[in-house]
Amino acid sequence: MNKQKENTGEISPNKQPLFRKANYILVGVGVLFLILGYILLSGGGSDDPEIFNPDIYNKRRLVVAPILMLIGLIIPIAAIMYRSKK
């Protein structure tokens, strides 16, 4: 007969956690980059729809914000794959 282990919910001492503190810090940094990118992307509207606001095409919205958001997506992916040498 096959004996199956019961899952008691306890962590055995020989198993290491999947993510360490550094992984969570890197994910948090990535989320902060995303939030900063979205903040830089916002704004530029006009109160009157008949008046054109050229601020919608400035460098901050077209270049800086998307780069920060891309970095904010890459950092958590790298954090998930990062494995410490300990």
Residues 13-28 pLDDT 10s: 777 788 889 999 999 9
Q: Is this prediction's pTM over 0.85?
A: no
How many CB atoms lie under 10 A from the CB of residue 82? Answer: 13
Confidence class for position 69, pLDDT limits 50, 70, 90: very high
Q: What angle do CA 67, 78, 27 make, to 5 degrees?
A: 80
- Cβ–Cβ under 8 Å, residues 77 and 49: no
User: DSSP class of residue 56?
Assistant: G
| Structure confidence at residue 27 (pLDDT) | 95
| Structure confidence at residue 57 (pLDDT) | 87
Kindly list the distances between the CA atom of residue 48 and the CA atoms of 35, 41, 43, 55, in Å, as whole numbers in the listed order. 28, 20, 14, 14
